[in-house]
């Protein structure tokens, strides 16, 4: 999936505002009516999220695999929020070690050049978690890490990668939190 723009809604409850697959993964816990809501509470939920980020799993998911997904998500969340907990790092590294991108070097005789091509591998939970851990590590080691932000709404737990030109984005999305804040500010101004 190409991550551009601020918001993509899906047919399920997933709101993809993170501008990065890892942040959208972390954003599978949201606040509703001051309660933390788990959007990956069933195997079907995880399958739906995978489809929303264009990752189609090849087989059904077990409850143990779902528990591993939730555990990795928490480790990634902690690291994105500047935790350097060695247990979180070790868990991410455990999944990185299982990440095996299927890239093949080929030679195109017609163009007289080498190409690096991607061959589809099995889309299992292990490959998904490996990919997410690897993408998390790449993000944390990149210059983009300084642009990972939490929504300015104190009642929102969503994060995003600020890809705006000025790097002054404040809200997970204008549709979700930005308009609410602007409306509240306007209403307060009208009362005074």
| Block mean pLDDT (10 aa), the chain, length 192 | 41 83 96 90 94 91 96 97 91 90 83 82 88 95 95 92 94 79 58 63
Query: What is the reported pLDDT for 174?
Result: 83
| Architecture in CATH for domain 8-191 | Orthogonal Bundle (1.10)
Q: Read off the pTM.
A: 0.81
> Which of 19, 30, 133 is closest to 73 using CA atoms?
133
Taking the CA atoms of residue 176, residue 182, residue 188 and residue 191 in that order, the dihedral angle to the nearest 10 degrees is -110
Query: What is the reported pLDDT for 168?
Result: 93
Query: What is the reported pLDDT for 3?
Result: 35
The alpha carbon dihedral of 156, 161, 164, 165 has a sign of: positive
Q: Which long-range contacts (CB under 8 A, 24 or more apart) does 120-126 make?
A: 122/58, 123/50, 123/55, 123/56, 123/57, 123/58, 124/57, 124/58, 124/59, 125/57, 125/61, 125/65, 125/68, 125/69, 126/98
Query: What is the reported pLDDT for 2?
Result: 35
């Amino acid at each position: 999936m190409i991550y551009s723009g601020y918001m993509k809604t899906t047919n399920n409850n997933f709101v993809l505002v993170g501008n990065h697959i890892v942040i959208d993964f972390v954003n599978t816990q949201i606040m509703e009516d001051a309660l933390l809501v788990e959007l990956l509470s069933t195997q079907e939920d995880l399958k739906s999220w995978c489809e929303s980020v264009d990752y189609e799993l090849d087989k059904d998911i077990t409850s143990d695999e779902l528990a591993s997904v939730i555990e990795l998500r928490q480790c990634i969340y902690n690291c994105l929020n500047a935790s350097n907990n060695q247990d979180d790092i070790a868990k991410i590294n455990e999944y990185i070690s299982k990440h095996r991108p299927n890239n093949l070097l080929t030679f195109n005789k017609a163009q007289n050049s080498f190409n690096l091509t991607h061959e589809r591998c099995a889309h299992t939970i292990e490959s998904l978690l490996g990919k997410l851990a690897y993408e998390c590590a790449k993000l944390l080691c990149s210059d983009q890490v300084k642009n990972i932000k939490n929504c300015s709404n104190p009642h929102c737990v969503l994060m995003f990668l600020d890809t705006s030109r000025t790097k002054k984005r404040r809200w997970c999305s204008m549709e979700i939190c930005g308009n609410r804040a602007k409306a509240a500010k306007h209403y307060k101004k009208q009362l005074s």
